[in-house]
Each structure stands twice: as C-alpha cells, then as structure tokens.
Chains A and B, each alone.
Chain A
Amino acid sequence: MQNKSIAQLAADLRLRTYSSVELTRHYLERIERLDPRLNAYVTVSAEPALAAAERADRALKAGEAGPLTGIPIAHKDIFCTQGIRTSCGSRMLDDFIAPYDATVVEKLAAAGAVVLGKTNMDEFAMGSSNETSFYGPVKNPWDETRVPGGSSGGSAAAVAARLCAAATGTDTGGSIRQPAALCGITGIKPTYGRCSRWGMIAFASSLDQAGVMARSAADAAFILDEMAGFDSRDSTSADVPVPDYVDALDNDIKELRIGLPKEYFGEGLDGRVGAAIQDAIKEYERLGAEIVEISLPNSPLSVPVYYVVAPAECSSNLARFDGVRYGHRCEDPKDLEDLYKRSRAEGFGAEVQRRIMIGTYALSAGYYDAYYLKAQKIRHLIADDFRRAFEQVDVIMGPTSPTTAFPIGAKMDDPVSMYLNDIYTIATNLAGLPGMSIPVEPVDGLPVGLQVIGNYFDEARLLNVAHQYQHVTHWHQAAPAGFE
C-alpha cells in the first residue's frame, strides 16, 4: 500500500479495496515500527487520524468523497493544527496547542486528507540539516548516519520512508527542495503567495512559502491542487486563479526551452552531482527540449542577501515568544528583564539565537541602510536576472544542492558552510519564484535532486516538466533499503 501513488490510493479507496481506516492503521503501524530509527515525527496523532479516517470512509461510502478523501498525510510541525501540538521544532513551543488550523491544514482537511501527525523540522525552520530541532536530528532513510536536509527534514524523511503518502513543507531558502533532494523525493515550493501563510509560524515573512513533499510530481499535483489559492486572511496571498495541476501533467514538453545558468555549475558543485544533473538534462533533450545557456549574474549575492533579510525578519517575527502569554517561561523570574532574557535563552536553540542577533544587528540604527536596505535593493537585481532569463527560456534547471546528504554533525560547527548548502535554492525565494526538486540518478546510493525553477505562477508547467521526466525514468520510485 505504501508504494502506491495517491491516484492509485484514491482509486482503491473508492473501490473499497481497503478502507481509509485500514490504510491509516497501516501507516500508523509503519510509523510505530520504523520511525524510531528516523525521528521524522514529533507528534503522531493516531486517534484524530483514525477518527478522520472513519469520517472519510463514511464519505466514501456515501459517494461524497473529495479528491484526497482518506489519504493519510503529515504536516510539518510549523503549521498550526487545532488541538494537536504545534512545536515548530522548538522548546519554546513544546507545549503549544493552537486554537486554530492553518489555512493549508484546513484546506487539506476539507479535501478529505487524514493527518497522521506532525513532522520534525529545524527549529523555527532555521537550518539545512534538521539538526537544530529541539526534538533531535532526523536521520536520512538512505543512510541513517546522514542528515535528511532541512528545514523540512522530517517531512522529507517520512515521505521517502513511506511513513505517509505525502507531506506539507515550507520553504524560506530551500527548506522543501534541499531535503527533497537529499531524501530522493519530489518537492515543490510554489510562487510566493500561492499558498496562504495563515497559521504557518513565520520565520521570514517575505520569503516563507508552503509547499508539498511527495514521491512524484503527480502526487504533488494532487496535493497542491487542494492547498493553493487566495486567502483573505493573508494580505500577501495572491488572488490569481489556480489551474488544475493534475490536468496539466501530461502536456507535451517538446520544444521546451530549458535554461542552464552557468553560475549553478561552477565551483562548489560536487563533480559527480554535476554529472548526474547533466545526465538528467540529456534525458530532457531526448524528450525534445532545447537547452539554452543563461546567466544569473547576481546569483552569487543570494546567500549574503538572504542572511540579512531572513534574520532581520525573524528577529522581529520571533519577538512574540517572550514568555508572557504562551510558550516557554523561565522559573521564578526576578523581574521583567530576567523573564525575557531567561525565557528566550532557554526556549530558543543556538541557531535561532544566532539569527535573531544577526537580524537585530542588521536592523539597528546606523546599520539599516548598509545592510537591510542594501540587501533589499540587491534582491530586486536578483529578481531582474530571472525576469530577463524567462524572456529566453521556459524553465531553469540546475542542481538543488551542491552535494549529497552529509554526515550528521559534519557542519554543525561551521554555520557558513551549512548556509552554502542552499546556494542554488535561495535566489528563487528572494525573487518569489516557484521551484521544484526531483530525484535523478543517485551518487553512491545517495539521492541527487534536479532543481527546476519556473516563472511566477507557473507551477503547472513545473509539475508537468517533472512528470514527463518521471514518466521515462524510475529514480523517483526507488525506496530506501528497509523502508520498501
């Protein structure tokens, strides 16, 4: 059951080959048995999941099923879920239960999805390896000594290990695509504003975007169809019609113009990862695509710009965690300042504290113009690079991550080297563009992700382009040993 596509599962459920309760129990049993090795879930919500599965079965029986009715999924623990703890991977919110559902959660529930639980993540989505979580690191199912990537590492590992049919993720600088690449799954970060941010705990508001982590582009299309859309509760949500992503999957990609930015194939890229990417691009040529070399001249500035903008926003977004109304509060504060200092020092981990300090500094009087304002200006230049590129090409391709999954602990003492993991993914967030990662031929048994970047609101084309590749290859079907 765990290897079936969402379309197959939906068909089976409709034919009553098995019930949603049986399917849900099957996944819960797998989680119980296999997740202790991975630590992909922070919270397993078995009871509400089974109750939802029962409702789904009744709806299926009554012929009132929605597109995802009875399909078991997982939510990254950054999405607020009414009645189920939302920790955001932090001690700060270890006991936080939101009184509301995120819009994304609400929409998927309305489509009939069953929520198995909440997945592990880097604390407040700050990290590229899932090692900053208060709940401990997630292991990569392909090699349990290695990281799954981050920050949506729990969702990536859970999908790769078949511990859910699909999962939600969020991507601020690569947090869907990089773990998707490192875990050998398909991840899509839609255009900024495509999915509502309501109820999604903010890291960097101008960059955060919800998306899907699934085993194939087709599965992702089914989920994204239900997640996307305007939400009046999010002022930055886009009031742009949502096309049918599933319908678009089978479009022909002959004469597709693929841009390869020379900056994405230079120094820092692991040679064998580069070769795997080139092989995948050859496959696209065989499918009739046209390859165009392009340049994104400002892309080397992406990482420094990101590490001003994102921490600046996070320093303000995380100010609400002050121990006053909810969240971690220190024992016996002696005065207000002590309450603030100790609650925050105890509640936040080292990486979160580092970014709050960087951001506070970047916004300080006398530094604002030199850092924040300048970064915002360069951000426009980076977006302009893409605008020019999309006058020439339909999609841009390159590696998602410069290397395959690295060993747990390898980069924890070297933040800059950790930050460089997102060198190919960050620019799309700065520009607000949609991006995907799909698995190509592994290197030494470790997954490699091909990144596909599209123009604004061109998710249908991204999914179509990914699906066409997955139609003629099998890399996305491979399961890690022991999790088949």
Chain B
Amino acid sequence: MQWETVIGLEIHTQLATQSKIFSGAPTAFGADPNTQACAIDLGLPGVLPVLNVQAVRFAVRFGKAIEAEIAPRSIFARKNYFYPDLPKGYQISQYELPVVGKGQVEIVLDEGTVKTIGVTRAHLEEDAGKSLHEDFQGFTGIDLNRAGTPLLEIVSEPDMRSPQEAVAYAKKIHQIVRYIGISDGNMQEGSFRMDANVSVRPVGQAEFGTRAEIKNVNSFRFLEKAIQFEVERQIDLIEGGGTVVQETRLYDAAKDETRSMRTKEEANDYRYFPDPDLLPLEIDADFLAEAVADLPELPDAKRARFQADYGLSEYDADLLTASRELADYFESVAKDSGEPKLAANWVSGELMAALNKAECEIGESPVSAAMLAGLIARIKDGTISGKLAKQVFEGMWNGGGDADRVIESQGLKQITDTGAIESMIDAIVAANPAQVEQYRSGKDKIFGFFVGQVMKQSGGKANPGQVNEILRRKLQG
C-alpha cells in the first residue's frame, strides 16, 4: 500500500525580551540556578502577574510577518497541572483566543516548487523551570531561572507531507523569527523547540490517521530523523495489523528512535479557564502600527529583490538571505564596491568558507563589509589580480588591516609597468631557446609555460593581460 505522511508542527520560540513575560526578572541564559527568579517566578503567595508589553510587540511582529490576523482582543488562560518545575501549578498561556490568528509561510521544495504552509495560530505563554535529575543523590533539583520566560508557540496546519517539508517549514519559521528580531533562535539553549504531530494514511484517503506527537526536538537534523523514524514505525505497525494510538513520544537521538512518553488516557485534563489576574489583552491600531513600524524586509522579499536588483542567481540569493546579518553584509559590500556579482562570489565563497572554518557568525567576522568592498575595489582597479586577492583576504582575516595595508605590507601590488614586464619576458625568452623554438614550430600549448615563468618571476604580481599580450608579441619574434 502507498502511504501518505501528514505532519503539523508546534514550535516554541523564546522571545528576546530583557525581562520575563509576567515579572521583572531577567531572562539571560546560563546563570546559576534560581538566581534569575523573583517572587513572581517562584509562585509565592499573593504575587500577581503583569504582562510584559515587549512580548506582545514581538508576537504582533510575527503575526504581521506571516500575514496573519492580529486579534484586537485575546485572553490569557491558565493551563492547570502539577509539576515541580511549574511553580504556580498552572502555566499562563492563551487558549481560546490567541493573539495571532491564521497566517502562512512559503517553503521552497527540492525541485524548486513553492508550497504554502498554513499557520493556525501563534500565542503567548510562559515557560516552566527545569528539573535537574543528576547530582542530587536521589532528589530532584529545581531551577526556576527559565520559569516565566516568554514564549511564542507557533502552531502549523497539518500541511506538510514529508520530513523534508517539515524541516523546510521549521527553518523558514526560524529564519523569520530571527529576521524580525523577536528571538535569537538559539537551538542549543532551547530558544527554538519543535513538537511534531505525525500521522500516516493510505494515499487517497481524506481522513487523517491517528497522530503521535514527538515532543521537544531541538535540531533540524533530529526533526527530520525523528519524523522519518516515526513514519516508518507507524507504517510497520499498521501493516503488521496493529493500530497507532494517540500519544506523546520522545525522540532519543542516541538510539535514533521515538519512545512512548504518555498515552491520551494518561494525559492531563488541563482545566483551562481565563486567568482572572490578567485583563484581556487589547491591541489597538496605534499599538499595532508602532509594533510593526520598523519591521525589516522579510526573507522572501529580500531574496526576490536581490535577484532583481543585483542579478543574483536564485541559489546565490537564497544563500545570501539565509540570515538578516548575512544579507545586510552582502548588500553593504555590493553597494560600496559597485560590483554585486563579485560581492556575491566573495561573500558566498571566501568569506563563508572562512567563517565555517573558524566556526563563527557573520557578526564576528574579522573582515568587515567595508574591508571586503575595499578589496573588491582593488581588484576592479587592477591593483591586484583576482588570484592575489585571496592572499589579501587572508591577510585581512588574520588582522593585517584593510586591503591597501595588506597589499602594501606584503608587496602584492600588481606590476603594470610595460617596461618592467617586457624586460622580464626578454630574459625568460633568452633563457629558454628550446621552448621558443617549439612555440614557433606551432606548438601553441607551450605558451602556458612562458606565462607560468613570468608569473613565477613576478611573484604572481604581473598583470596577466599585459603578460599575454607582450609574450605573444615577443615569441612571434
């Protein structure tokens, strides 16, 4: 039987606010346990939540970025369940009326076709703390630093049909939240966590199969593998005469498998109800306008513009818009140098390779956009050859200053003095009579030998155009 996979994703993205969603405690990552949790985060008696407006602004920006409706009135609700790292015994979330309604994003599939994935909703909520099961000799440690950290939960429609589509969608959301500056998207630190709802059905069947939810996946690679495993598990199960049960599963990366965590019967009854400590969240036109006033150009628009304005290939445009920082870098180099194609080649080639090798982000590049544009200018005006430019780049990367300084200090300036090149060629022609004879007897290929000799002699600095021209003249005698 032919099976079709149906996938929907719930993505929890941590919002990049300075303080927590309902308290003034800081949100910085990595502090000592329980040092970034105030009375409100600890759920002490008598404390009350006050909504962080910046978190609302971020949610609104996201809504706008995915062309969603922003609810003029949304409600915070309590999701009630007991867990040691959930200090109040409930999580403040949004249930029936979320702040962001239906929206959509586009993903590009392998064969280049574009597919629209629906976003059902996005809502604001607070994160829980962490339970630490090691190092406490039979006890569990509770760290509430993360408790109350603002999250935007982004729920997709079940529109994806393969693990690859799910990854493409997740990457797109990841790209958007970083572009619009609402999240650092740091997956190692848990700022971007994915839950996948996976089911299979016979091709042609309209109803969905029973789904399993894979919780808390924190890398795109694991997302793809977890879904792949789960799809195969479900197909094997059904084909073996079994049935899929609705349940929550965990992906074990070490074993590359998903494991049952709890079934529907064991699930909590969350007893959602509107939080009486918080007023309905009302967003008026002024707030909305202010929140999205400085919304940057979004990746899709930027990609199209790069192709149109700079004549970039789709591949290059895609690559150079992967992050806003990279795109800004490229655009700055392109504008300053006036050579967008050279800029694209240098950014996607030398620069990216160097960044990858050094494992650093574009923002940490020792070669600034202005420096790279300076280098391209020197290529353009013939000061250096394209070949030597790589050496200059290396010099800049290693702290040698801007292109002019590296060219100067390493003596890489191109030789364009015709007289100097002529005398160099005269000497080489005189020293290699046998090869000259061969050339003159019609063995054209030997020409390259002479070019090589000149370049060697000049340390690569002789202008290749001039070398070719003079050499040809001299060899012909």
Q: Which residues of A contact B (CB under 8 A)?
A: 79-80, 86, 88, 93, 96, 98-100, 102, 197-202, 204-206, 232-236, 312-313, 315-316, 318-322, 324-326, 336, 340, 360, 363-365, 368, 372
Contacts and interface: CB of A to CB of B under 8 A. Distances in A.
A324 B141 CA distance: 10
A198 B46 contact: yes
3 A-B pairs with the lowest CB-CB distances in the bound complex, closest first: A319-B89, A363-B271, A205-B276
B48 interface: yes
A313 B89 CA distance: 12
Interface in B42-60: 42-51
Interface of B: 39, 42-51, 78, 80, 82, 84, 87-90, 142, 269, 271-273, 276-279
Contact of A235 (B88, B89, B90, B279): B279
A199 B46 contact: yes
B95 to A, nearest CB: 11
B48 A198 contact: yes
Given A322-B89, A325-B43, A364-B271, A316 B80 contact: yes
Interface centre among A318, A324, A326, A364 (most CB of B within 10 A): A324
Given A206-B276, A364-B271, A233 B80 contact: no
Given A98-B46, A319-B82, A336-B84, A235 B273 contact: no
A183 B82 CA distance: 40
Given A235-B277, A313-B276, A96 B271 contact: no
A351 to B, nearest CB: 18
Contacts of B47: 198-199
Contacts of A372: 273
B277 A363 contact: no
Nearest to B80: A316
Nearest to A326: B44
Contacts of B45: 80, 86, 88, 93, 96, 98, 201-202, 320-321
A201 B46 contact: yes
A415 B125 CA distance: 38
A375 B181 CA distance: 43
B87 A325 contact: yes
A318 B82 CA distance: 11
Given A206-B276, A319-B89, A336-B84, A364 B269 contact: yes
A322 B89 CA distance: 8
Interface centre among B45, B272, B273, B279 (most CB of A within 10 A): B45
Contacts of B44: 98-100, 326
B contact face: mostly helix, strand, loop, or mixed: loop
Contacts of A360: 271
A134 B273 CA distance: 30
Interface centre among A198, A206, A363 (most CB of B within 10 A): A363
18 contacts: A86-B45, A99-B39, A100-B46, A197-B46, A199-B46, A199-B47, A200-B46, A232-B50, A233-B48, A235-B51, A235-B279, A316-B78, A316-B80, A316-B89, A316-B271, A319-B82, A322-B89, A363-B271
B419 to A, nearest CB: 81
Nearest to B79: A316
Given A80-B45, A233-B50, A364-B269, A324 B84 contact: yes
B460 to A, nearest CB: 69
B129 to A, nearest CB: 10
B50 A325 contact: no
A98 B142 CA distance: 20
A47 to B, nearest CB: 23
A88 B49 CA distance: 21
Contact of A236 (B80, B87, B272, B279): B279
A326 B276 CA distance: 24
Contacts of B269: 364-365
B444 to A, nearest CB: 85
Given A100-B44, A234-B48, A235-B48, 4 more contacts: A235-B279, A316-B271, A363-B273, A364-B269
Contacts of A206: 276
A319 B78 CA distance: 11
Contacts of B80: 315-316, 319, 363
A206 B278 CA distance: 10
Contact of A368 (B48, B50, B273): B273
A149 B473 CA distance: 117
Contacts of B278: 235-236
Contact of A202 (B46, B271, B272, B279): B46
B262 to A, nearest CB: 14
Interface centre among B47, B49, B88 (most CB of A within 10 A): B47
A102 B44 CA distance: 12
Nearest to B271: A363
B271 A325 contact: no
A319 B47 CA distance: 14
A71 B272 CA distance: 45
B90 A316 contact: yes
Contacts of B272: 363, 368
B46 A324 contact: no
